[in-house]
Amino acid sequence: MTPTERSEDVTPTGPGEGMTPTGRSGETARVHVPDAVRARRAQRSFDPAAPVPRAVLRDLVDLASRAPSAGASQGWDFLVLSRSHDVARYWEVTTEAGRAPDRWLRGLRTAPALVVAWSREEAYRERYALVDKASGDHAPVDLAARWPVPYWHVDTGMAVALLLLGAEDAGLGACPFGVPTARVDAVRAAFGVPPDRTPVMA
């Protein structure tokens, strides 16, 4: 399962609470890659009164889902928040109580939508346990010993890069940032994210 969608416009369907399969419509995304790469900048303040349309959010998640991944494992999920109360809830559970937001945080909190990318290690373990990826003696594959880095995180990062380029191509500002380690469980609890997911970037 891939994106978690919580939005007025994006209706959750599929397995798991709020977890939906990535839509693959077969439509070709018209991303002008060199232009998008050169033009992309981290935007840290937004117009909260300008919502991101449902079709755009779905297209961005679809673009992200087409990133390369080890063994085509696609071990990622996307928590999409576009309802104002969901966005506000995210900032509430990730900000220390009583802490006055600094300039950076005040700017980011004006974003009308958030997309949090999560990696899932088990998707890779399941994939590499299959016959075409298993070792010759069919013993379980030790991915930690086989790989120099956890590719479930790397691949999710590549998916985020595609999403950022898609946002640029759509004329949207975006800024990648991390979920505070101490607040990860609070985000999981607030939005029904399974415990085996790790937030890579928002």
Cβ atoms of 90 and 81 closer than 8 Å: yes
- Residue 54 in 3-state DSSP? helix
pLDDT tens readout for residues 60-113: 999 999 999 999 999 999 999 999 999 999 999 999 877 777 888 888 899 999
pLDDT tens readout for residues 18-31: 333 333 344 455 55
Q: What is the CATH number of domain 3-201?
A: 3.40.109.10
In the chain, where do the E strands start and end?
Answer: 3-6, 76-81, 114-120, 197-201
- Residue 51 in 3-state DSSP? coil
Domain layout of the chain by residue ranges: 3-201
**CA-CA-CA-CA torsion sign (25, 51, 6, 117):** positive
Q: Is 151 exposed, middle or buried (0-12, 13-18, 19+ CB in 10 A)?
A: buried
> Which pTM value belongs to this model?
0.78
